[in-house]
């Protein structure tokens, strides 16, 4: 069993690898720059308008502050999830799925960078969340949005790609029969 299958999208054209790297790096950079800008501004309380506002929160737990008392465990889990994402991206069979998973990798890397490099220290840092929706719930950041939309996009690409393959196979059967 190969890590990268023969029919994987990253083997189809070298441009796919560069595009995946570009998407991941762009998401990571946008996430870290936006967090730096929000931290530099230090908004007091909640500032914003309408249904979205800026509220600075440091989350030491996973999504929804799950396991917030165990930041090192959450950091190790984040490393494992990021490695799994890289493996899935390399094994993806279509370009759309590979690019969407690259967005997930960029978002996971952005949050992982916070956990590793931000105070109070190595592997114990909190993710800087700053986007808050008026509907309630928690706060999030650009990395979280990239993860959520990347997963959604990958699912859609898989469904659409699967239907396209089924239609193509049905045409081949009807033409040969």
- Please indicate whether residue 141 is annotated as part of the active site: no
Is 31 one of the annotated active-site residues of the chain? no
Catalytic residue among 31, 114, 129, 141: 129
Query: In terms of C-beta distances under 8 Å and separation of at least 24 residues, what long-range contacts does 7-16 make, across chains too?
Result: 7/93, 8/90, 8/91, 8/92, 8/93, 8/98, 9/92, 9/93, 9/94, 9/95, 9/97, 9/98, 10/89, 10/90, 10/92, 10/98, 12/95, 16/95, 16/98, 16/99
SS3 45: coil
User: In this structure, are residues 124 and 58 in contact, taking their beta carbons and an 8 Å threshold?
Assistant: no
Give the separation between CA 50 and CA 169, rounded to whole angstroms. Answer: 49
Q: Which of 31, 114, 141, 144 is catalytic?
A: 144
User: Which single residue is written with the structure tokens 């799950």?
Assistant: 66
Which residues are part of the catalytic machinery?
Answer: 129, 144
């Amino acid at each position: 069993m190969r890590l990268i299958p023969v029919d994987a999208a990253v083997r189809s054209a070298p441009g796919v690898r560069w595009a995946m790297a570009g998407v991941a790096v762009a998401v990571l950079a946008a996430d870290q720059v936006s967090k730096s800008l929000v931290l530099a501004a230090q908004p007091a309380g909640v500032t914003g308008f309408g249904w979205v506002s800026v509220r600075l929160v440091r989350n030491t737990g996973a999504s929804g502050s799950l396991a917030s008392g165990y930041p090192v465990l959450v950091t190790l889990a984040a490393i494992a999830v990021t490695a799994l994402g890289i493996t899935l991206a390399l094994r993806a069979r279509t370009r759309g799925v590979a690019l969407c998973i690259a967005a997930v990798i960029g978002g996971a890397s952005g949050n992982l960078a916070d956990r590793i490099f931000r105070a109070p220290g190595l592997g114990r840092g909190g993710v800087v969340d700053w986007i808050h929706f008026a509907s309630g719930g928690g706060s999030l950041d650009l990395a979280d949005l990239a993860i959520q939309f990347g997963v959604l996009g990958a699912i859609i690409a898989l469904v659409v790609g699967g239907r396209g393959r089924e239609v193509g196979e049905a045409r081949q059967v009807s033409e040969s029969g």
